[in-house]
Structure 1
């Protein structure tokens, strides 16, 4: 028997819980499950796209989610999510494509017994308009987004997350029956812009460790995701901490994904611990946690998490917003004040004991309010539901098929394909290094299944020629597929050159993200210079990449200099050949450039270059010499 069903839609995955919004998602779903509801989770793969655009493998674990929820689904973004806008702010629906509403409509038909739909973030609220009649609609706001960009101005920074105005936020909230606020200040604000029911729902945190006061402080810690508020805040604090640090003072340990955004080196007294898969490894290694937060909204989940591990915390008033702080150490004005408070207490056993008691009282009061809020929410849902009924499993989504494995033998190794939920896997001892993931559901599967086909490459000694694969095909069958490359494979060059070249052959006929024609305009030594149009960000910046000349033999070539061209001032560069550039993606506008490759060769024959960068695939057709009459790209 299962309880009534609730669909939860989120633009972030549930696992791994490496960011505050993921912890919020899990705590809210856990509250619903404690209330007897069967929770289905639909991940709109917004964050996956963002990570890939910044050259990182997305930290998403679909297999872990499958173990927690009744059903899981995946909604692929149909287009590029804009991170900036030329308008004063984003319109409320700029980040919500019709694909999310189409999924909600499909789900309503497939699971008509569903009682409620909970949409995470107001910028996805448009999808609630597709909810079937009679279904309760909720929005978990997470943050206030009206005028959010103004927080960045004192720090001379530009936001790269959603922000809107009061009218837009009000319009989004009006689509819900119940609006969930994460902390009291934001609940009060939402009540001024909407007549919908606003319910304060702080997340509950189970006690992981009892509070224990340190006798002295040897190490202080900050654990966080690499978002803008965290980066601005910890950079300011770390700079202040290093300024006059001596070995007699505590060490600052910075851990989590934010470590990757702070550069390879840290200042005196600061250690970057990187991403730690187990939270215990971090909290057991520090005596005190700092929350020197200077900007941002919502509830600082890192504070609640540190308290749940029994750690005393010192931070700014903004860092403790929503916790109803009383102690002065929880209401400090600046990062410098946080530093001063830490140093004042570092060797003060009595002061540390008092701080720890204040933190224990704060956490107990916070959790009591969170538990009351959860009980009230479940009561509201129960009234809306009427009598609970069993949730029927109308349509079972496709599941992972770990037995669907195909091996293609290549020169110097093998290419292994599997269909699974193992989305977090980058390097497997058996399969090898992740090369690419299909962007859409496997053939014949439900369109919203999170299972994907993935290809892994593994080097093997003694493999010097291709052999027929186990499926009876001489190649991996990648032609025409829409693939997302693994940025790590492109960047790290761990695989031997013959295997990398053979992988390029396998990828040569996949669906390219962009295509261009090029003409030779010069040679010097081993270098050949081409004139062409390529994605603008490649013309004006350096990105990890790999380039291969496809042919007999296929070989990896080296990108040298890239020089943007002003075609209006140089007529020979304004020909149709150079402007022959196509891309289906709005975030890949073209820019003319002269590009020099070493190892391409200077022969007059036509050739093809496979250009791999970030998670994208580009295909350059080098026209033969002499240049024929203009022909459009196919």
Structure 2
């Protein structure tokens, strides 16, 4: 049931709309921390924040097999109003040009949301858009002060990858395009002074320095020795390249008398099965306070990246000393040699030199405390300047806004258990079980509910699977981590849940013909997305019997190219999915029939494929 809306209203206050391609909760990555702290700064200045989450980051990270948590329920509690705009357009990760155009990562759906919002909420005084690649939506914000929080410099960002002989997996552009984006704003926010100077050279718009104010969470206390060093990070390229190189350097020659390197955060998924002496992968850590309390020194061995390394400021806010490269400390005005290491070898050498030297550790801790205090003083002054700019631009009468209460509403679905609610960061619910899938809405449906963040969500595991599983129908869904990465539910429940998904809207669909069979498997000739031939994407597959019968989880034995196309159509709304002929071999069906009109569901982190099995040409005997 929908929770009762409180009768009280908020005091009249000026409103700022914040638009971001990443969620503000949980603040488990540097850009999320930046976003959350900026919103807090606006609230401290007396502004109410309406938050619009354009689910861009979710699409990008799913394509790399990562599932950073999103907590829309927490965002509803933090902000005056929370909106969810689905990223239904495919975000290009590669470009055939030298750089991305400034609007290649933009979204017409986001533009239309901003136009809708401006008409619905004319009392809003300002709009703050995160990242230059979403700047086009500022053109649709009528009668508002327009701000861009740049986060980073994106012009020529791809050049940072050359020393690693790698290609970037995130946005990059050229100076002219970045300048055009900045010109759409009235005010440009830079996270550190070097980038503020750079942006001021690109645009005649007002550029404000706005480093984040980090609250002091624990006092500094110098360790007597170094037993554990730590690193916390998201699964982005700068973190991946830097900590991977450092971990290998740290493991070389490691002995048990040396400190242990503990790596935490989503970066652990990107590192895969990294198994090195003296290195421990902790995965996603809910309790950062405990992690930092158990860590003697944090390392920031960054070899690339721009902006401000939020991991450094966060560690300092917990009173933990940091050793890192000059790149890791850009924007902090670092002076100590331990904050200006040239490379990972120098970071390792600094840690080993400090590990049993209490006096040197005390000096490092004092240098960190001084740096952090100076940084926060500058940040507080910058925050006050931003507040003055927005207040000066505000000439509208504030409107009282009724508090919006989050709600949880049962869905008419007995199994899997369905509820309508805002997504939370939890993959397990004590009442419902393990999250299976979350509804995705098209633009018209989202606008019909005023872009509210509540969606239908389905769970399983708290009750036994039924003999016959009802279909969820032709619903568009985003799969949870259970399917490809988690696999924590018993097989019988996973199979019943797959049967419930049999009519879910696929991202691609085709027909296949059985071209071979054995006692425990079969081979299908078909066309499928070309990227599946590389073997890089993790895949799970289920054979669903005709007419809503049982589903059987399969073992994917191989995907091989096929010389001639089998003559079947390939259907998709996603132009980046290029069909290629292939043979798919699977096993694990036991005595299940290979029946015509059966269906194979092909599931990856970000896509649902549906393969209809056509009648075989002639008899195929196992």
TM-score, scaled relative to structure 2: 0.92
Q: 1:98 deviation in Å?
A: 0.8
Work out which structure has the larger RCO, using CA pairs closer than 8 Å and 6 or more positions apart in sequence: 2
Q: Distance between the aligned counterparts of 2:339 and 2:453, measured in 1?
A: 42
Instruction: Quote the residue 1:563 is aligned against.
Output: 560
Structure 1 unaligned regions, length at least 5? 409-413, 467-473, 568-573, 628-634
8 A contact 1:459–1:499 mirrored in 2: no
8 A contact 2:543–2:598 mirrored in 1: no
SS at match of 1:380: helix
Over residues 179-212 of structure 1, what are the superposed CA-to-partner deviations in whole Å (9 max), with x where a residue is unaligned?
0000000011111111111111110011111111
Q: Distance between the aligned counterparts of 2:446 and 2:391, measured in 1?
A: 40
Q: Distance between the aligned counterparts of 1:54 and 1:284, measured in 2?
A: 32
Instruction: Quote the residue 2:550 is aligned against.
Output: 554
Shift in CA distance, 154/383, structure 1 to aligned 2, threshold 3 Å = same
Q: 1:433 deviation in Å?
A: 1.5
Instruction: Quote the residue 1:97 is aligned against.
Output: 107
8 A contact 1:508–1:550 mirrored in 2: no
Instruction: Quote the residue 1:362 is aligned against.
Output: 371
Of the three residues 464, 467, 474, the one matched with 1:465 is 467
Q: Distance between the aligned counterparts of 1:623 and 1:112, measured in 2?
A: 56
Q: Distance between the aligned counterparts of 2:484 and 2:277, measured in 1?
A: 34
Over residues 546-570 of structure 1, what are the superposed CA-to-partner deviations in whole Å (9 max), with x where a residue is unaligned?
2223226423144332111122xxx
Report whether the alignment pairs 1:200 with 2:191: no
SS at match of 1:203: coil
Give the 5 Å matches for 1:271-350: 271-350=280-359
Instruction: Quote the residue 1:117 is aligned against.
Output: 127
SS at match of 2:512: strand
Instruction: Quote the residue 1:421 is aligned against.
Output: 422
Q: Distance between the aligned counterparts of 2:494 and 2:341, measured in 1?
A: 54
Of the three residues 50, 53, 62, the one matched with 1:52 is 62
The runs of 4+ residues in structure 1 deviating greater than 6 Å are 441-444, 600-604
8 A contact 1:546–1:611 mirrored in 2: yes
Of the three residues 378, 395, 401, the one matched with 1:393 is 401
Instruction: Quote the residue 2:262 is aligned against.
Output: 253
SS at match of 1:29: helix
Shift in CA distance, 545/443, structure 1 to aligned 2, threshold 3 Å = same
Q: Distance between the aligned counterparts of 1:81 and 1:67, measured in 2?
A: 29
Q: CA RMSD in A?
A: 2.2
Report whether the alignment pairs 1:178 with 2:187: yes
Report whether the alignment pairs 1:448 with 2:451: yes
Q: 1:604 deviation in Å?
A: 7.5
8 A contact 2:59–2:606 mirrored in 1: no
Instruction: Quote the residue 2:608 is aligned against.
Output: 617
SS at match of 1:378: helix
Q: 1:226 deviation in Å?
A: 1.4
TM-score, scaled relative to structure 1: 0.90
Structure 2 unaligned regions, length at least 5? 1-10
Report whether the alignment pairs 1:596 with 2:585: yes
Q: Distance between the aligned counterparts of 2:508 and 2:567, measured in 1?
A: 17
Q: How many residues align structurally?
A: 601
Q: 1:602 deviation in Å?
A: 7.4
Q: Distance between the aligned counterparts of 1:272 and 1:626, measured in 2?
A: 51
Instruction: Quote the residue 1:506 is aligned against.
Output: 500
Shift in CA distance, 183/537, structure 1 to aligned 2, threshold 3 Å = same
